[in-house]
Amino acid sequence: GEDVEQSLFLSVREGDSSVINCTYTDSSSTYLYWYKQEPGAGLQLLTYIFSNMDMKQDQRLTVLLNKKDKHLSLRIADTQTGDSAIYFCVTNGNTGKLIFGQGTTLQVKP
Amino acid sequence: DVKVTQSSRYLVKRTGEKVFLECVQDMDHENMFWYRQDPGLGLRLIYFSYDVKMKEKGDIPEGYSVSREKKERFSLILESASTNQTSMYLCASTPRVPTGYEQYFGPGTRLTVT
């Protein structure tokens, strides 16, 4: 079945760049998303990339998509303590269902 | 401001009780979803609905049922709550053909079954 894999934990120092990686199996995904969940809060759509794109940049966020390897990454430049959260890699099938990775907890140390 | 609301943020129930979790969206979305979130497992789809009175099983439907009598409301029912259903429950909605940013989650209901 469809699957999305990500590492569970990443720790960085404030000011460094963070890179969260994800691999997926469903090649029919038209959109690939990164959701952010802050402690005690719901999920918030952080950014997304359309499947015919290789890269998308949005301020401190850079999303890279390698369709051949089915690999998605999220780079956060100049990571701040406010970036501490769980980040979910998510793909969608053509039925509208979302497939979630396990979530990567990003810890930012001051 | 668009919204998905859930009836409770925190809920404590006893084993064997019938539990209703309600979700309401004000965006006229066709699709609605119920997930549970557990540490290290991400979000797992319990049930979803493409339209009023329609429902489809997700990946982990056992022990749950749903009801969608109105387009804006999607209810999750635990017929007889068990301790392994202690979890965070998240509701979401999307339009029929999801595009870009048009996916919204509620704040979640943390259910504890004792």
The model's pLDDT over B28-77, given as tens digits with 9 standing for 90+, comes to 999 899 999 998 888 999 999 989 999 999 989 999 999 999 999 999 99
- CB count, 10 Å around CB of A20? 21
| CA nearest to B99 within chain A | A31
Q: With contacts defined as CB-CB under 8 Å, which chain B residues touch A100?
A: 35, 42-44
Q: Do A96 and B97 touch (CB under 8 A)?
A: yes
Residue B26 reports pLDDT greater than 70: yes
- Give me B36's structure tokens: 């549970």
Bridge partner list, A38: none
Contact A98 B100 (CB under 8 A): no
Question: Are the C-beta atoms of A79 and A18 separated by less than 8 Å?
Answer: yes
Residue B100: predicted pLDDT: 55
Question: Within an 8 Å CB–CB cutoff, is residue A98 touching chain B?
Answer: yes
- How many CB atoms are located within 10 Å of the residue B109 CB? 22
Query: Average pLDDT, stretch A5-32?
Result: 92
User: Shortest CB distance from A100 goes to which of B31, B42, B100?
Assistant: B42
Residues of chain A with pLDDT > 70, as a percent, come to 95
Q: Given this model, what pLDDT does residue B25 score?
A: 95
Name the amino acid, one letter, at A63: V
Distance from CA of A41 to the nearest CA of B (A): 6
Structure confidence by residue, pLDDT tens digits, A59-84: 999 999 999 999 999 999 999 999 99
- CB-CB under 8 Å, A42 with B107: yes
Answer whether A83's CB lies under 8 Å from A20's CB: no
Cα–Cα distance measured from residue B49 to residue B30, given in angstroms and rounded to the nearest whole number: 8
In angstroms, the CA A39 to CA B29 distance is 27
Q: Distance between CA A4 and CA A24 in Å, rounded?
A: 4
Q: What are phi and psi of A48, to 5 degrees?
A: -150, 165
Average pLDDT over all residues of chain A = 91
Task: Search chain A and give the residue with CA nearest B39.
Answer: A102
CA–CA separation, A16 and A31 (whole Å): 28
From CA B108, how far away is CA B93, in angstroms rounded?
13
Query: What is d(CA A79, CA A77) in angstroms, rounded to the nearest whole number?
Result: 5
Within an 8 Å CB–CB cutoff, is residue A66 touching chain B?
no
Question: A90 and A73 in contact (C-beta within 8 Å)?
Answer: no
Q: Determine the average pLDDT of the residues in B82-98.
A: 89
Sign of dihedral through CA atoms B94, B95, B99, B104? negative
Q: Do B42 and A33 touch (CB under 8 A)?
A: no
CA distance B97 to chain A (A): 7
Name chain A contacts of B35, Cβ cutoff 8 Å: 100
